[in-house]
Structure 1
Amino acid sequence: MDDTKKKRYILKVLTSYLVVFYSIWAVYTILIEPLIEKGPLLLNLIGGNFIKLGVWTLPSLILLKYVFEEKPLDYVKLSQNRLRGLAYGSLYGVVIVVYVSVSRFLSSGELKFNPFFSLDSWIGGVLLIGFTEEIVFRGFLLQKFEEAMGSKYANAITAVLFLLIHFPKWYMQGNLFMVEFMMNSILFIPLFSILMAVLLKKTNSLWTCIIIHSANNFAMFALGA
């Protein structure tokens, strides 16, 4: 397969994948997740997180292995440069927590830091977030789009896609129509995505992105943001 055909093939597969992925996730978030949240705590903790792993992470790894014929863990950069990724992730993770805390204090005039937030948020929003979101967006989509159209466009497209995947949840929370919330999110999330792309390139390890994403969410939950 020549280079042009390869790029077209990648874009065709990614387009089909994204249509299915975003459709399934929107239906799940709007129709199914509210039912799970009303159920027993164990169902919420295990069921919701397993569903996200099944809808987000597993399909991307399957596509890499059986459609693109890659070694999934190597491709998403989980199996190499672990120490380098952990070191950079820890360093920038601390920076993120401090930045979010200072920003919160400057905007509200107070700082209430509570690390004892809900177990569901700890498991799904902090501990598993890298495996459910970073593998898909930085490990899979960013790098595949980069193969098809170069870093500049890949970074921009991935940033927009990362923003859009949050829309169903924001709709259910009522945040989609809150102007201040949306303005802050539209600025922060694409910039966060681009920062993750830069650090992935610099460290050649997805562990950097995983730890920073976890640190960011930890700060948000601990500050009640």
Structure 2
Amino acid sequence: MAPLSKAITSAFVKITIWVIPVILLVQLIEKRNPVSYLGLRHNFSKGLKWAGWFSLALVTYLVVLYLVILNKPFNINTGFNEWLNTIILVGIIEEIVFRGFLLRKFMEKFKFWKANTITSLLFLSIHFPIWFYKGLFELPYILSSMITAFVLGIIFGFIYKKTDSLWSVIVIHSLYNLLISIFN
């Protein structure tokens, strides 16, 4: 399969497996408009302000960490598949599922911090197959990756709650994935 068609097929599968079920659940069970329910319609500018400030802090942290402390060069040669599936779609898809739907549903039953912790643990768990597949499941890499995924899940949940806008965490998540792609 050609790289372009492989990338598009992967994108289609991700949307079909992750996003479409969430949209159907919101429509059929919640009887709500998915765009509004997930936080994609309101507080857009508030979400982007938070995304802007947090992104500035994130870029500063990662540039200092990778370029100054670790003296690691960056690589801007990312292919179409990585741009589409890792940088653009993963931020959208994972945030729709984890913050837009799951965190919102857990907050109906639990206080925010408990709901956010559960959602962050689930967010962490979806990364295990990727780490196994890429052969990254070894010490110390796996410990730092697990901590990073969990902490990012907590931060994304907090920002989503503060902004009530899924766009804030979509932008931050996609930017994080872009930066990690550049520095790895």
Question: 2: CA distance between counterparts of 1:118 and 1:44?
Answer: 12
Q: What TM-score, normalized to structure 1?
A: 0.78
Tell me the CA shift for residue 107 of structure 1.
Answer: 5.0
Query: Aligned equivalents of 1:59 and 1:182: distance in 2?
Result: 30
How many residue pairs are counted as aligned between the two chains? Answer: 184
When the two chains are superposed, the root-mean-square deviation of aligned CA atoms in Å is 1.4
Q: 2 CA distance for matches of 1:104 and 1:63?
A: 41
Gaps of 5+ in 1: 1-38
Per the TM alignment, residue 67 of structure 1 is displaced from its structure 2 partner at its CA by 1.4
Matched, 1:103 2:42: no
| Equivalent pair of 2:4/2:81 in contact (CA under 8 Å) | no
Structure 2, gaps ≥5 residues long: none
Task: Give the match for residue 197 of structure 1.
Answer: 157
CA-CA distance at 1:85 after TM superposition: 1.2
Name the structure 1 match of 2:134: 173
Q: Which of these residues, 82, 88, 91, is aligned with residue 130 of structure 1?
A: 91
Partner of 1:86: 48
Task: Give TM-score scaled by structure 2 length.
Answer: 0.94
* Secondary structure class of the residue paired with 1:128: helix
**Offset at 1:163?**
0.5
Deviation at 1:187, TM superposition (A): 1.2
Match of 2:73 in 1: 112
Q: Give the drift of 1:106.
A: 5.2
Q: Deviation at 1:194?
A: 0.7
Residues 184 and 106 of structure 1, relative CA distance in 2, 3 Å threshold: farther
Residue 88 of structure 2 aligns with an amino acid whose one-letter code is L
Aligned counterpart in structure 1 of residue 167 of structure 2, from 203, 207, 210: 207
Q: Is the 8 A contact 2:87 2:178 kept in 1?
A: yes
Q: Which has the larger radius of gyration?
A: 1
For residues 8 and 89 of structure 2, the distance between their equivalents in structure 1, rounded to whole angstroms, comes to 12
Contact 1:94 1:215 in 2 (8 A): no
